[in-house]
Amino acid sequence: MRRLVKAVCRGAGVTLANPVSGALDVALTIGPDGDRYCANFGGAEVRNDGTLRRTDSAPPAACACGAVPPTELRFASRAPSGVCGRLDKPSGPLDLDCGVLHFGGGQVGTPPFDVTDMEDPTILSVDCCSGDTLILGPSSPTIAGAKRCSSEGCPFGPPLVVPNTGSTPQSVCVYPTYTDDARGTAHCDTGEVRVTLPIAGVAFLTGDILPRRCSGGSSPGLRCGGPLDPMAPDPLCPGGGTCVDDPDLQPCPICNPTTLVCNGGQDNGGPCVPGSDEVAGPGFPTSRDCTVSTLVKVGDIPLPLSLTTGTSTRTGSPSGTQARVFCGYCRDADATIAFEEVHPGIGHPCMSDADCEQPYEACEQRSSGGFAYPASAITEFGTPAGNLEDYAAHDATLVGVFCLPPTYIPIIDAPSDLPGPGAVSFPGRLQLGSPGGAFTDGV
């Protein structure tokens, strides 16, 4: 009996370029429950030209990823160390440290910050396994858990600490959250991975959230204060402690690793589980269990992460009135210097001035260059995990150089110099597994 699957794919989101080179994998989502089906177009090639790809008699897909086909891929970032990238500028290259998120144009005022290690790995489901190739999709909270899932609305790791020592009130606590489902591919024989993680950083302008803390007593580390500190209604420390000044800058609530209660924030004194255990310093560990007041929320910062274990790079080119543009958005460069807003909070991305129309005639970013320099190129170097078929955890580094759009929130765009480029590296571990399984080395 002859069986035929025919797909007609059109629209702005379709990027397939004919003729197709190599294998073609397709993941299809159907119905209100999001049932997913996959296929690999192999077999004898009948036609492959500028308009049509057709194959015939494709054999059933067979998985070659270990003795048992995997059902998920887990990734957990680790404490940063070493160099993972390079910024090219006129005076010479500048190393970009591993585990650091860099962002903004040539006039950015907020410094880069460390990426927190992840006690809970983020989990992507394996939708298809064909040979050594895995097609990855989102995992649900029901399957992966509320802190490890990768579908829309799930958290991505613990809160990020963004201190601004030059202006303490502008320090921010960021809670990364998926705005759409994660997708990707992996090769279990080489450990090469490419994933798209649509994330927004929900930003809270907290400043220093722990100016005074309890010392001694039964609740060391709790936030405390007095009549001039409405965020700490009880000036006394439970159990005989003393309320003292804390000189460190801490934008996020801390999950005290000794008492396992939240220090600072809305849940001050409440129970918590640390979201990280490797990154040290006065601002750590943070936890999703420790929240902050919605009254200090300033907005969402899109972080459209496209990560790879290979090399990711962007080059700045002349555009509009600027010499080095990495991430162009249509702008009124002649008068208001405002960026076009095609929908509320949504800019108009562009490749050149030809993509823009008056009065937003120039394809520019907020300031020429990147990361506070007149940069000409940004590169991050990933590291594949090697063979994953033993189901053990393997060291790897996922990296990405990407664009940060304008948020149209002045308190975010001005100090962060957005729109502009972004770059990040996540040293960590990758592991194939089955639902509910832990990393073999306890990560």
Tell me, yes or no, whether 108 lies in a domain. Answer: no
Specify the pLDDT at position 116.
Answer: 87
pLDDT digits (tens, 9 = 90+) for 189-235: 999 999 999 999 999 999 999 998 998 888 899 998 754 455 554 56
Span 393-410, average pLDDT: 95
Tell me, yes or no, whether 411 lies in a domain. Answer: no
Tell me, yes or no, whether 22 lies in a domain. Answer: yes
Tell me, yes or no, whether 177 lies in a domain. Answer: no
Cα torsion through 352, 353, 355, 357, rounded to 10: 170
44: containing domain: 1-60
Strands 44-48 vs 72-77: parallel, antiparallel or unpaired = unpaired
Give the chain's length: 443
pLDDT digits (tens, 9 = 90+) for 36-48: 556 666 667 778 7
Place of tokens 């803390």: 213
Tell me, yes or no, whether 29 lies in a domain. Answer: yes
Got the DSSP string for 173-239?
A: EEEEEESS--EEEEETTTTEEEEEEEEEEEEEE-S-S-SEEEESSSSTT-B---TT-TT----SPGG
Specify the pLDDT at position 32.
Answer: 46
Least confident range from 44-53, 211-220, 251-260: namely: 44-53
Asked if residue 261 has pLDDT above 60, the reply is yes
Asked if residue 378 has pLDDT above 90, the reply is yes
The answer, yes or no, to whether the previous bond of 419 is cis (omega within 30 of 0) is: yes
Contacts of 403 (CB under 8 A, 6+ apart): 304, 326, 327, 349, 419, 420, 421, 422
Tell me, yes or no, whether 25 lies in a domain. Answer: yes
What is d(CA 425, CA 98) in angstroms, rounded to the nearest whole number?
A: 6
Q: How many domains does the chain have?
A: 1
What is d(CA 57, CA 45) in angstroms, rounded to the nearest whole number?
A: 9
What is d(CA 122, CA 152) in angstroms, rounded to the nearest whole number?
A: 13
Place of tokens 């990296």: 399
Contacts of 105 (CB under 8 A, 6+ apart): 326, 365, 366, 367, 368, 369, 370, 417, 418, 419, 420, 421
Q: For a pLDDT cut of 70, what percent of the chain falls above it?
A: 85
Q: Indicate left, alpha or beta for 371 from its phi (over 0: left) and psi (-120 to 50: alpha).
A: left
Q: How many CA atoms lie within 13 A of 185 on its CB side?
A: 15
What is d(CA 110, CA 404) in angstroms, rounded to the nearest whole number?
A: 14
Place 66 in a pLDDT band, splitting at 50, 70 and 90: confident
pLDDT digits (tens, 9 = 90+) for 69-108: 899 999 999 988 899 999 999 999 999 999 999 999 999 9
User: With DSSP H G I counted as helix, E B as strand and the rest as coil, what are the percentages for the chain, rounded to 5?
Assistant: 5, 40, 55
Asked if residue 1 has pLDDT above 50, the reply is no
Q: Exposed, middle or buried by CB within 10 Å (0-12, 13-18, 19+), for 180?
A: middle
For the chain, what is the mean pLDDT?
87
Least confident range from 32-46, 156-170, 185-199, 336-350: namely: 32-46
Place 138 in a pLDDT band, splitting at 50, 70 and 90: very high
Tell me, yes or no, whether 15 lies in a domain. Answer: yes
Q: Indicate left, alpha or beta for 265 from its phi (over 0: left) and psi (-120 to 50: alpha).
A: left
Tell me, yes or no, whether 417 lies in a domain. Answer: no
Q: From residue 73, give the alpha-carbon distance in Å to each of 312, 364, 431.
A: 21, 38, 6
| Structure token digits, residue 211 | 């100016």
Specify the pLDDT at position 239.
Answer: 79
What is d(CA 137, CA 184) in angstroms, rounded to the nearest whole number?
A: 7
Span 346-356, average pLDDT: 96
Most confident among 15-24, 50-59, 111-120, 318-327 (mean pLDDT):
318-327
Span 19-48, average pLDDT: 63
